[in-house]
Each structure stands twice: as structure tokens, then as C-alpha cells.
Structure 1
Amino acid sequence: MLLFYTCYRHSIFVCGMLLTLVLYAMLLTAHGMAPPRFVLSPEMGGIKHASGFSLRKVSDVLAGRKYAVLTFDDGPYGQGLDEQILATLQKHHAHAVFFLVCSHINDATRGELAKFESAGDLIGNHTFDHPDLAKLGQPEIRQQIESCNQRIADVTGKRPTYFRPPFGSTTRAVGEVAKSLGMQQMLWNANSEDSWVKHPEQIRDFSLSQTEDQSVLLMHEKPMTAAVLDDILTQLEQRGFQFVLPDQLSDNVAIN
């Protein structure tokens, strides 16, 4: 009887260990689990999981996975810069939100919008000609946002979902206008500081130091930023980052 009990205890122990290893492997690799989905977190300026507690989130913690949204303001730039940024994103299986200043969309640059969409990236509204909206009344705010929506729709056939106020300068009135137009305002909680720094290495260092899990990283379509983007994404990947879009994941993004 004692021998049977000893074997029984050992069997439970072995089975328990095997089950633990299987569960751990499943959590670690996330095979068979739905990919994570994110929504904007206005109070934090970043993103947050669309669902509450899940095995997927536990898996991410165990595996050290982190997520960030890449954003680029002030395009389209033209002159090959958009293509350079898109090529770097493709190299890293990454996608981004491009917030366009619609006065920059002209005969020379309108073709860039199709390239953004073909790559699986999102086009956002950054107003028609980049004023400080906090200094404008509601009619002028609406004109800036809606005229940009219309310009993007004229080129792509679709109105953008996301809106970013120039300089991050927003007020209650700005938010109300954006909401009335069916748009979500996207700010940021990580900044490459590429709007003022003078050296690519500074852009890289600010991007790396400020980007944390569930960040929205602000960058601009600038030659210096494009020059250091590959290095930024490489080092973030080495820290466990994957690059996602809010509310959706592109079919081209592999989570593993």
C-alpha cells in the first residue's frame, strides 16, 4: 500500500511538472493565442490593451514583449524620403501612423499616400496647414481639420480616423470638434525630439530613452530621422519591442 501511494504521489508530481512546463511554453510562445489588440489611452498619451486580464498579457510579460506605436508627423515629404522611411519600416515588419499636413499634398506628393496604404500603414490628419489650434476659435478649428479630411479623402477615397493637433496643442474645443467629426485625437508619451535636435544620434538617444511599453512615439518626416530610424528600431527590437497600430494589427505583423 505504501509503495502504491509513493508511486501515485510521484505520478502526480511528474504530471504536475509536465503540465507546468506545457503551460509555461504556451505562455512564453503565445502559440494558439489571439494577437493583442490596443486602443488609445488618452489619459496616458499612449496605448493600452483592448481587453482586460488575458493569457496573452501573461505571455507577453513572461516573454518580455513590449509594444509601441510609431508615428510620423508633417508629411508627405516627397523627394524619396517617404520611400526611405517605408523601406526601413518594412525591413522591421513595422507599421506606423503618418499624420499628414494636407497643404503638403500636391501633384508631386499625392502618390505617397497610396504607398503608405499599400504598405499597411495608417494615414492621419495633422490639419491643413499646421496652425496652433489652441489659438483659434471653433469654426477655424473645424475648417483646419475638415479641409484636411477632404483632401485626404479626395486622394485615397477614405477619411482618416486619427487626428493629431500641431505641436500637441489641444484644448477642450479642439477635442470636441475632432469628436464631432468622428475622429480620435492621438497625442504621444514618447518623443524623439527631432523637431529641434541637430544630430541624428540625439534623435536616436531620445527615442530609445523615452520609449517604454505601450508608448506612442512621436517622430517627424525628416532626413535626420530617416537616417537613424533603422538603428532606433533595431535597438528597440533588441529590448523586446514589436510595433503595432491602435485598434488593429496589420495582417503583415507576425506576433511570435
Structure 2
Amino acid sequence: MPKQISATRRSSVLGLLTAASLALTLSGCASYDVTTPADARADAAPSDAKAQDAKAGAGDGAVDCGKAKCVALTFDAGPSENTNRLLDILKENKAHATFFMLGKNHIAERPAEVKRIDAEGHELANHTWSHKILTEIKPDEAKRELSRVQEDVRKITGKTPTLMRPPQGRTDEEVSKISKDLGLAQVLWSVTAKDYQTTDSDLITKRVLDQTKRDGIILLHDIYKGTVPAVPGILKELKKRGYTVVTVSQLLSPAKPEPGMVYRP
């Protein structure tokens, strides 16, 4: 029997069918678990919350997104020739992001950038090896698409990603099962600049700012020419509007990413 959604806060798969990028093919009563960052925090075990409180008291810069007006910043499909400049900008603005990285022609060709992403406190995450649509390939191939990135990131940094973003946001029950087996939570988004359609940095900035709300997840790509030049303006205006820019895991904290779960604002 397919796994049914296990909490009242978790919306059905049909609730995801609001964007073309999430054009899922449903079969029978198949479903998978999905929740929002805010609901994940609310559902966190009391022990997790106490641990987070203790961590925050240690003066290490921990953020309580239950109190702060947080938004997660994410970048897909890198690292690329633009990544070092992006990392410079993030450092200058004391901001951290989650990098959903591709393997072929990216991680495999730019291990130095992967190391730098990790060394500077950003979050390493998985965007498959070659950007194949996971719902359109056989389960064994989908597993290889994810596991190859896991292995390469571990070899380079000694760390294994706990988050993945399915290409085009397309997931289903089988992909969720594979993700769970590999220890990966799935992360979708609420803000997209469609930076693959334009090199206009001002337009990219406007699209992000127009869509951003508390507990949102911003999707950008550091592989496109207009994106990285837009980041300083995005960060400046988000700060002006009272947002704290965080990684996905910081947005979920004190909850821990649950393997197989789909997180979407």
C-alpha cells in the first residue's frame, strides 16, 4: 500500500499541482509526505527544540526562524565559473545559502568550489548527477543519479548531503522512497526568478522580491549570466525588509530534514 500523508499539517499531493514544473502523473491513490518549513518546526520534538535553544545560547549565530523573519536562499545546477564570485558576495553580506549541485560537468570538474562552499558555512545539497527527470527514468537509474552525487561530495568534503532537489521539482512516491533510502529530504521552492529565461539582473531581482514571503525558499541558478550580479541587490533589499537569509536546514530548525519528505512553503 502507498504511504499516506501522516499529519494534518501535511497537504496532499494535489496541493502541489499549482505549477507546471510540478506536473506530476498520479496513479490510483499514490501519495507522498509533504510539509511546509513552518509546520516542520511546529512538529519538531520538544527535545529538538531544547537542543536548538542550547545551541543558540552558545553564541554561534544560530537563527530561530520561529521568531525571525527567515527566507532560505538556494542555488541550483552549479558549481560553475560564477560560483567563486557568488561566494565572495555571500561572504561580504554575511549570508549563507544551500547549493543543490549537479555532478556531471560541475562537481566533477570543480571540486575546489565544492570545498569552498563547505568551508564557508554553506549547505551542500544534491541536484542529481546529470539533471535527468527522476519520475521519467527507472528506479535503479534514479538511484544512481542521486547516489553518485552523494559519493562525490563525500569524497571531496567528507560530508554527505541530506537534502536534494529533484530536477524541475518532479517527484513521486518512488522518488520519495529512493530519497528516503539514501537519507535525502526533498526540497522544492516558493520563489523563482526564472533566471534561465533572462540575463536581465534587474528583472531577476524584481521577480525574487515580488514573490518573497516569510518562510519562503528562493530558487536561483549560479550558472546563468544574469543571476550572480543580481544577488547583492536581492540581499540588500531583503535585509531592508527585515528578512534573515538562511540555509534550508536553518529554516527547518529545530526540525531535522526527514529523509523522503518533501518540503515546500
Q: Report the TM-score when normalising by structure 1.
A: 0.71
Q: What is the alpha-carbon distance in structure 2 between the residues aligned to residue 220 and residue 173 of structure 1?
A: 26
How far apart are 1:198 and its partner, in Å?
A: 3.9
Q: What is the alpha-carbon distance in structure 1 between the residues aligned to residue 34 and residue 221 of structure 2?
A: 21
Q: Which has the larger share of helix?
A: 1
Report the secondary structure of 1:212's partner residue: coil
Query: What is the aligned counterpart of 2:239 among 237, 240, 249?
Result: 237
* Change in 2 beyond 3 A, CA 1:93/1:140: same
Question: Alpha-carbon deviations, 1:82-115, whole Å to 9, x = none?
Answer: 1111111112211001111011246751100111
Q: What is the alpha-carbon distance in structure 2 between the residues aligned to residue 200 and residue 163 of structure 1?
A: 27
CA contact (8 A) 2:126 2:146 kept: yes
The share of aligned pairs that are identical, in percent, is 28
Q: Aligned Cα RMSD in Å? A: 2.6
Match of 1:13 in 2: none
Query: What is the aligned counterpart of 2:76 among 62, 73, 77?
Result: 73
CA contact (8 A) 1:94 1:244 kept: yes
Higher alpha-carbon Rg: 1
2:35 counterpart of 1:43: yes
Q: What is the alpha-carbon distance in structure 2 between the residues aligned to residue 57 and residue 107 of structure 1?
A: 35
Question: Alpha-carbon deviations, 1:145-203, whole Å to 9, x = none?
Answer: 11111111121122111111111111111111101111111111111211223421211
Q: What is the alpha-carbon distance in structure 1 between the residues aligned to residue 66 and residue 138 of structure 2?
A: 48
CA contact (8 A) 2:101 2:107 kept: no
Q: What pairs up with 1:66-105 in 2 under 5 angstroms?
A: 66-78=69-81, 81-105=82-106
How far apart are 1:42 and its partner, in Å?
A: 3.8
Report the secondary structure of 1:197's partner residue: coil
Report the secondary structure of 1:223's partner residue: coil
Question: Alpha-carbon deviations, 1:105-126, whole Å to 9, x = none?
Answer: 4675110011101110011010
Q: What is the alpha-carbon distance in structure 2 between the residues aligned to residue 164 and residue 189 of structure 1?
A: 13
How far apart are 1:58 and its partner, in Å?
A: 11
Q: What is the alpha-carbon distance in structure 2 between the residues aligned to residue 47 and residue 82 of structure 1?
A: 30
CA contact (8 A) 1:199 1:224 kept: yes
CA contact (8 A) 1:141 1:174 kept: yes
Q: What is the alpha-carbon distance in structure 2 between the residues aligned to residue 57 and residue 82 of structure 1?
A: 28
Q: What is the total number of aligned residue pairs between the two structures?
A: 201
* Change in 2 beyond 3 A, CA 1:170/1:107: closer
User: Which ranges of structure 1 fall in alignment gaps of 5 or more residues?
Assistant: 1-40, 250-256
Q: What pairs up with 1:27-42 in 2 under 5 angstroms?
A: 42=34
Q: What pairs up with 1:114-153 in 2 under 5 angstroms?
A: 114-153=115-154
How far apart are 1:57 and its partner, in Å?
A: 7.9
User: Which ranges of structure 2 fall in alignment gaps of 5 or more residues?
Assistant: 1-32, 44-48, 50-62, 252-265
Q: What is the alpha-carbon distance in structure 1 between the residues aligned to residue 96 and residue 231 of structure 2?
A: 13
Q: What is the alpha-carbon distance in structure 2 between the residues aligned to residue 77 and residue 59 of structure 1?
A: 34
CA contact (8 A) 1:42 1:187 kept: no
Runs of 4+ in structure 1 deviating by more than 2 angstroms, as ranges, are: 41-44, 46-52, 56-60, 104-108, 245-249
Q: Report the TM-score when normalising by structure 2.
A: 0.69
Match of 2:11 in 1: none
